[in-house]
Amino acid sequence: MNYAWEAVLQAEKHGMDRDNLRFTEAANPSPYIEVSVVDLNQESPEEERVEVNPLYRLGDVFGKLFDRNIEGYEQLKKVFFDVCMHQIVQLDLREGLSKEDFYSSLIMNDIEGGRYGGKARERYSLFAKAEKKNIARVYLQLLKTGNYLEEFRRVMLRLYPQVFIYENNEIAYELLVYLGVEESERERERTAFLREMFLPMQETVHWFYGHHFGIIGVDETMLVDEAVIF
């Protein structure tokens, strides 16, 4: 964890909100790393306060703005420093942003902003940040290709590694989906969101959570007390 943007990514991975992080000028900065930590093996910020050496990369700018020899306006300088670092981190993280990432972020903003409906916004909040990004990327691909079955399979595999999806050969527009997770209200809401986002209205989905439905001839699905009759 050398740079400020790395600290932000690690903090988000551990459940912290980027907007709640507060950047402060390190009291005893290291000349070799941007983020000041006691333990160099530390993987993420232990709290929402991140100490930064402003001269590590940005000495030409910050050296004049935050000269320690200039006294006064201490509180204003702390707030301004935090604002500047947040902006710099945003620019750093966008350097490798592709066109696909950009459009995916617009889809995420639309869903979270309620443009797909209030219920969709509520259900979308049940997914982790990485899951939300995966959903948006696959949905963007759906908008390009229109192949809803393929994109539905793709998003389900990304979110549920143990998933099995079957098409009913006897009834059109009917899918049987085994998820491999315990059934709960949260999972029912999540799957309802995925069904509405990726499948047409005429498609019927039967969800199976912790137990697979029995298939004659497949011994693994015909275990006593572990098979669901369908």
Torsions phi, psi for 150 (to 5 deg): -65, -45
- The whole-angstrom separation of Cα 72 and Cα 88 is 24
Tens digit of each residue's pLDDT, the chain (230 residues): 678 888 888 888 878 888 888 988 887 777 778 887 755 556 667 678 888 888 887 777 777 777 777 777 778 888 988 898 898 888 888 776 678 888 999 999 999 999 999 999 999 999 998 899 999 999 999 999 999 999 999 999 999 998 889 888 778 889 989 888 898 999 999 999 999 999 999 999 989 887 766 554 444 444 445 545 44
> Average pLDDT over the chain, rounded to whole?
83
What is the pairing mode between strands 212-213 and 204-208?
unpaired
- Per-residue burial over 149-177, b if 16 or more Cβ lie within 10 Å, else e, is eebbbbbbebbbeebebeeeeeeeeebbb
> Contact, 177 vs 199, CB < 8 A?
no
Tens digit of each residue's pLDDT (9 = 90 or more) over 94-153: 776 678 888 999 999 999 999 999 999 999 999 998 899 999 999 999 999 999 999 999
> Contact, 179 vs 163, CB < 8 A?
yes
> Contact, 30 vs 36, CB < 8 A?
yes
- Residues 6 or more apart from 216 whose CB is under 8 A from it? 222
DSSP for 51-113, written as a single string? EE-THHHHHHHHHHHT-TTS-S-HHHHHHHHHHHHHHHHHHHHHTT--HHHHHHHHHHHHHHT
- The whole-angstrom separation of Cα 152 and Cα 172 is 17
β-bridge mates for residue 5, sequence order: none
CA torsion, points 197, 18, 15, 121, in degrees to nearest 10? -20
Domain ranges for the chain: 4-94, 99-228
What is the pairing mode between strands 174-178 and 164-167?
antiparallel
Helix (H), strand (E), coil (C) string for 14-44: CCCCHHHCEEEECCCCCCCCCECCCCCCCCC
For the question of whether the overall pTM of this predicted structure is more than 0.75, the answer is no
